[in-house]
Amino acid sequence: MSVLSGIKPEKVFEYFEEICSIPHGSGNTKQISDYLRAFAVNKGLRVNQEPCGNVVIYKNASEGYENSPTVCLQGHIDMVCEKASDSRHNFKKDPLPIAVMDDEVFSRGTTLGADDGIAAAMMLAILDSDEYEHPALEAVFTVDEETGMDGAKLLNYSSIRSRRVINLDTGEEGMFYISCAGGLRGNVSLPVDMKEHTGIEYDVVISGLHGGHSGEKIDRYYANAIVLMGRLLRFLQQRMKFRIMSLSGGLMDNAIPREAGCHILVSNENSTTFEQTIAEFERIVKYEYRANEKNLMIYCENLGENTARVLRNESAKRVMYLLTAMPDGVIKMCRDEGQEDLVETSLNFGIMRLSDERFTLEAGVRSSISSEKYALSTKLRVIAEAVGAEYTEKGDYPAWEYNEDSYLLPMLIRLYESAYGQSPVVRGIHAGLECGVIYNALKPVDIVSFGPTIMRAHTPKETLSISSTQRTFDLLLSLIKELK
């Protein structure tokens, strides 16, 4: 125990170590939620523990701040549980095996959960102390951010008076988020018919792609394996007859798919043409992606004669229509001054499946402008319905729209510049943050978001910078002090 003792700011690291000793993976936050409640009761602070596990702790203004507007500090208390293949860590009951090396705190073979445990630790250090100056505080600890922001969605906002919110989940010192995208999942489901057919079976796999988070990485213009597979089928269709046995691609709705595969039946006399056509298509797309997908490859293997269930012609046509007609990737870049490198609206097909009855596609639609998100989703619906597919929207969450008249942001920038002697990076993010949900629930509300540097979050190599935590905590203290 006490791996972190003596590291300054001491209270912050003391609480961080305690948080690390309590299992708190997403969906398993009861214990950490109870811990926060007990902390508040212990310190004589008013506390509200919600049924879902969210905790809100209230602290009175320090002397001289009684008339200043209440400020909300916010972070999430769940963490992503990832471990190295040789780790025997049990995220349900073991304390994290944390360690320190040079300027970094990490956990041996597991995620550290500094995303966003360090926010909770900083908030607890402030709640614990009487030496800091600040307005009345509402410290909001939310559960299950990492698995769909359920805590932020379920929060009882009528218990929050603040219209100034400091979110501590940015993960990169010197960067302040000022807006985030909203999103929804668009599910396309097409009923299909199959019949038996005999031919030479081919296994075709498109692979070697980068993939990555469908929001943050969409502006890299990486190839989407599902979209490429659609193009490949269309390319084949214009040259020869073939039958589709199976079709699949992608693993997660919020990741750009790295791989897609299909099994195809062709007639014996067409098999040479088939192989040549695949090779020709591979050359074409390798050229298109010569700069950013150097490992793109299309694997094609002849598995010999087979009799199997394949898509009937009419169904195959509709499947290819959907894959070809749907838009994909970056739809629009932001045109606000200084934000020109921010993706405003985008689309990613994350999952493709084919069963005996249905062909399904799952798309992630994102935009920092709600009306653009719905316009794009409507486009998908119209394309889907044109061939008799059903289209449903799921998991809709709101954007945090840029606030030109923010009071907090210029203040934060000024404090940062005087402490660091340089300007921060101020930008929107093309991904969802809890700020979007909070913004939508409390608006009009002024929100800023920052945090200490966390490297490789969501992986077993996650690290937290100690010096960055020190500076970020100082910045947080000076910000709440300034809000007199």
Q: How far is the CB of 76 from Zn ion (least distance, A)?
A: 6
Q: How far is the CB of 113 from Zn ion (least distance, A)?
A: 9
Catalytic residue among 145, 201, 362, 372: 145
Taking alpha carbons only, the member of 443, 450, 402, 380 closest to residue 173 is 450
The Cα 168–Cα 180 span in angstroms is 14
- When asked if residue 434 is in the footprint of Zn ion (CB under 5 A), the reply is no
Please select the residue that binds Zn ion; options are 14, 18, 78, 169, rule is CB under 5 A.
169
> If you search the block for the tokens 């097409």, which residue do you land on?
190
Q: How far is the CB of 169 from Zn ion (least distance, A)?
A: 4
Which one, 17 or 115, has the nearer CB to Zn ion? 115
> If you search the block for the tokens 């009528």, which residue do you land on?
158
The token pair that represents 301 in the structure block: 């293997």
The Cα 229–Cα 235 span in angstroms is 10
The Cα 238–Cα 176 span in angstroms is 50
- When asked if residue 115 is in the footprint of Zn ion (CB under 5 A), the reply is yes
Which one, 155 or 361, has the nearer CB to Zn ion? 155
Q: How many helices (H) and strands (E) does the chain have?
A: 11, 21
* Burial tier of 245 (Cβ tally within 10 Å: 0-12, 13-18, 19+): buried
Catalytic residue among 14, 17, 18, 78: 78
- CA 160, 166, 171, 176 dihedral sign is positive
Choose one: 168-176, 192-200, 238-246, 291-299; the region binding Zn ion (CB under 5 A): 168-176
> If you search the block for the tokens 């097909």, which residue do you land on?
349
Please select the residue that binds Zn ion; options are 78, 116, 128, 144, rule is CB under 5 A.
116
Number of residues that bind Zn ion (CB under 5 A): 3
The Cα 358–Cα 375 span in angstroms is 26
Choose one: 161-169, 202-210, 218-226, 271-279; the region binding Zn ion (CB under 5 A): 161-169
Q: How far is the CB of 141 from Zn ion (least distance, A)?
A: 13
Which one, 121 or 384, has the nearer CB to Zn ion? 121
Choose one: 46-54, 112-120, 255-263, 299-307; the region binding Zn ion (CB under 5 A): 112-120
- When asked if residue 128 is in the footprint of Zn ion (CB under 5 A), the reply is no
Choose one: 108-116, 203-211, 347-355, 418-426; the region binding Zn ion (CB under 5 A): 108-116
Greatest distance between any 2 Cα atoms in the chain: 88
Which x/- pattern over 65-104 shows residues binding Zn ion (rule: CB under 5 A)? ----------------------------------------
Which one, 151 or 230, has the nearer CB to Zn ion? 151
Which one, 332 or 458, has the nearer CB to Zn ion? 458
CA dihedral 226→230→232→237, nearest 10 degrees, is: 160
Our answer to whether residue 10 is catalytic in this structure is no
Find out whether 352 and 360 touch, Cβ atoms under 8 Å.
yes
Which residues share a beta bridge with 107? 98, 110
Q: How far is the CB of 452 from Zn ion (least distance, A)?
A: 12
Which one, 169 or 293, has the nearer CB to Zn ion? 169
Which residues share a beta bridge with 361? 188, 352
Q: How far is the CB of 445 from Zn ion (least distance, A)?
A: 20
Our answer to whether residue 288 is catalytic in this structure is no
Q: How far is the CB of 392 from Zn ion (least distance, A)?
A: 28
Strand ranges, E, within 113-152: 137-142
The token pair that represents 438 in the structure block: 């909070």
Residue type, 16: F
Backbone phi and psi for residue 317, each to the nearest 5 degrees, phi listed first = -60, -45
Choose one: 114-122, 298-306, 319-327, 401-409; the region binding Zn ion (CB under 5 A): 114-122
Residues labelled catalytic: 78, 145
Q: Which positions lie near Zn ion, rule CB under 5 A?
A: 115-116, 169
